[in-house]
Structures are given as C-alpha cells and as structure tokens.
Structure 1
Amino acid sequence: MKTVPAILRRVTTAFRDDCRGLAAVEFAFILPLMLVMFFGTVEISSGVAVDRKVTLMARTLSDLTSQAIQVSDSDLKAFFTASVGIMTPYDASPTKATLSEIYIDSNKIAKIKWSKAATIASGATQATLTNSTRTVGQDVSSLIPTALLVPGTYLIFSEISYKYVPTIGYVMAKTGINLSDVAYTRPRQSLCVIYPTTSPLPLCPT
C-alpha cells in the first residue's frame, strides 16, 4: 500500500513533467502583448499616412491658388474642396484650412493682404468658406522662412490642421493628435493673386 507522501510525490512529478498545456499557457501570456503591438502598428501607420496627407493638402492648396491671376469665393471653395479630397478614405471633417496672400515689404516685413478659411462637414462633398483668423495687415514674418523674405514679392500661404483620432487608442491618445503643416508658393502667372475679383484688374496691394 502506497503512503500518502509517495502518492503526492508521484502526482507532483507527473504534474511537473506534463507539458501538454505549456503552449496554451505561453500563448495566454504573450497574447496581450501581441494585440498591443498589432493595434499599435495599425494606429501608427494610419497616423503617418494622415500626416502625409495633411502635408499634401497644404501644398495642393497653395499650388492651385498660385496658378491664378485673381480668385473669387467660388474659386477658393473649389480649391479647398479639391485639397480636402486628398484625405480620402479618411474622414475629412476634422480638417481646418486657411489660405492667405502675403506681401514682403522693403524691410522684409511679411504682412497678410487677404485671407480665407474653410471647413468641411462630416459626409459633405464641398468645403464651406469661413472667416479667417488671419487679419489684413497682420505681421507674419516669424512664420516665413528667411530665404523667402524677398522684398517686393508675394507668397501664397496655406495652413492645414487636422485632428487625428485613433480607432482603438492603445498606443496613441484616445482624444486624438493634432497634425498640421504649412506651404508657401509664389504666384506663377502674375506678381500677386488678386482677391476678390474685380474689373478692371487692380494693381497688386502693397
């Protein structure tokens, strides 16, 4: 007849040598880490893609405007709409865009000559023009790279901001991350881009 200690030793030895559940236990330990890494990779990849689109939006907006001699509200609305379309397939509604023309005087002081902003509602296909936070005459010299502060010249200045909110929020903040970028383009067809449109075409404001 086996004694209790002998039975316990046999059971303990058998339990110690039994590896049938080892893989399941290891998987249970590493599964949370695998999920965090997977969703983190997805979130970071999406964030990088959106940030790249924000940069493209800023460049597209200034580039389209710089190709005109004069622009109307309908022109600006079309430019804003085309730029915001770059966000596809991501939601464009968090986008805020501002477009301004800047004049650099003889003292290399850069000031706003005109400015317009736009937003887009969720599910909308057209941008909506709004009043810009930039005001005519505002000194924006600190925002312009030194190499672009050429006296007597104009710049088309676009600003884009976008609040990226991750789907899961495992790695990035659930409240979202503010992404932004700016772009500068010189007028291509004339010294400046006139806004609003008038007839006859006036001289560029200084």
Structure 2
Amino acid sequence: MQKMSLRVRRLLNDRSGLAAVEFAMIFPMMVVMFFGVLELSSAIAVDRKATLVARTLSDLTSQMASVADADLLSFGETAKAIMTPYPGSPLISSVTEVYVDSGTGVARVQWSKGLTIGPTGVVAIAVTAPHNQGDVVVLPTTLVAAKGTYVIWSEVSYKYTPAIGYVVAKTGMSFSDTAFTRPRTVTCVTYSATPISGSLPPCPTW
C-alpha cells in the first residue's frame, strides 16, 4: 500500500512533457490568430487600395478636356496596377459626369461608363452603363450647393476573398468607395467613344 501511494505521489509530481502538452493545446489558437491577423491586414490593404482607385479615376478624368473609350481603358489599367498584388478581376469601377442644374439644383447624369477586368486581366468597358443619361442622382450637399457646375463622380467596388476563409469570412468581404472632383481645365469633360478632333461640343445640361 505504501509503495502504491509512493508511485501515485511520484506520478502527480512528474512534470516531464508538460511543455509539450501546453504547446499542443495553445498551437491551434496561435495558428488561427496568425492567419486571422494576416487576412485582416490584407483586407485593410485592399480597402485602402479601392479608395485610392476611386480617387485616381476621378482625378485623371477631371484633368481631361474630353475622354474616349481608349482613355477610360488606360485609366482602368492604372486601377489594375494600383490593386497589385491583389487580383484585378473583382474590381468593378465607373466614371460618371453629373451636372447640377443652375435653377433647381437637381443633379443629373450627363454620361456614365463602367469598367471591368476579366479573369485574364483584360480591362474592358462595361456593356451596361452604371447610370443612364438624365438620371437624377444624390450628391453630397456641398456639391449640390454649387449650382450650374459639373462633377466627376467615380465609384469602385471590390470583393476580397481571403485565402483562409474560415478565419475571416468564407464568402469574402466587399469594399466600396466613391470620389468627387471638379473638371480642372474645362467647364465639363466631354465623352465620346472615339477621340474628338477639332473644337469640343457645348456642355450638355440634361
């Protein structure tokens, strides 16, 4: 009986392998935390890049006197480069020019073009325009207050799919942003499918 009690006491006092047991218990949590932080960091980076794309598209367009499809495709290539090293195909963007009526202050779409990026990285003009000409849209109060002016409005959306879905979100996370700028060199930026030669047409006021 005394020998049995001594063996039990030795067993209870035995600490060999304790570190290995503790590590085996903590390691799965450490792995989840590591990948969680990694995916959240990537998600934050994607969100910031989407914001930068929105600002870049509106800024580039506002510096033009007129834009053609070739210009918009070039802007799309710039947007794709900004999203690097993340894939460009989830990026959906658009550029729209809006006129704020000088009398009523109602904001109406003058022209609108969307951009998509295919799985192979090819930038294309979207088949369907994000907004129809003449549509009434809601702009920030500070922009509507300046009646009789034009505004370049860019919209961007991006769906980020994490590599380790069960850590953050299996279905992915969607990010979106908008940006507004005024035309820099002209009263309005004219759109034409092909480059305009000669003088620009008068600014529309749909």
Residue deviations 1:84-105 (CA, integer Å, cap 9, x gap): 2100011111000111000001
Counterpart in 1 of 2:97? 101
Residue deviations 1:54-92 (CA, integer Å, cap 9, x gap): 000000001000000011111111112112210001111
Question: Does the CA contact (< 8 Å) of 1:40 and 1:170 recur in 2?
Answer: no
Name which one, 1 or 2, has greater alpha-carbon Rg: 1
TM-score, reference length from structure 2: 0.93
Counterpart in 2 of 1:14? 10
Distance, in Å, in 2 between the alignment partners of 1:118 and 1:175 is: 23
Counterpart in 1 of 2:131? 134
Residue deviations 1:10-57 (CA, integer Å, cap 9, x gap): 221111111111111111111111111101000000000000000000
- Give the 3-state SS of the residue equivalent to 1:33 in structure 2: helix
Counterpart in 1 of 2:20? 24
- Give the 3-state SS of the residue equivalent to 1:203 in structure 2: coil
- Give the 3-state SS of the residue equivalent to 2:66 in structure 1: coil
How far residue 179 of structure 1 moved from its aligned partner, in angstroms, is 0.5
Distance, in Å, in 2 between the alignment partners of 1:7 and 1:152 is: 100
Counterpart in 2 of 1:39? 35
Question: Are 2:177 and 1:181 aligned?
Answer: yes
Question: Are 2:202 and 1:203 aligned?
Answer: yes
Which of 65, 69, 73 pairs up with 1:69?
65
Distance, in Å, in 1 between the alignment partners of 2:40 and 2:179 is: 24
- Structure 2: runs of 5+ lacking an equivalent: none
Question: How many equivalent pairs are there?
Answer: 199
Question: Are 2:149 and 1:153 aligned?
Answer: yes
Worse-superposed segment, 58-67 or 76-85: 76-85
Distance, in Å, in 1 between the alignment partners of 2:167 and 2:135 is: 39
- RMSD between superposed Cα atoms in Å: 1.2
Question: Are 2:121 and 1:120 aligned?
Answer: no
Question: Does the CA contact (< 8 Å) of 1:102 and 1:113 recur in 2?
Answer: yes
How far residue 184 of structure 1 moved from its aligned partner, in angstroms, is 0.4
How far residue 171 of structure 1 moved from its aligned partner, in angstroms, is 3.0
- Give the 3-state SS of the residue equivalent to 1:26 in structure 2: helix
Residue deviations 1:111-150 (CA, integer Å, cap 9, x gap): 11000001111232x4111122211111112xx2111111
Distance, in Å, in 1 between the alignment partners of 2:14 and 2:115 is: 67
TM-score, reference length from structure 1: 0.93
Counting only pairs closer than 5 Å after superposition, residues 53-68 of structure 1 correspond to structure 2 as 53-68=49-64
- Give me the identity figure in percent: 49
- Give the 3-state SS of the residue equivalent to 1:98 in structure 2: strand
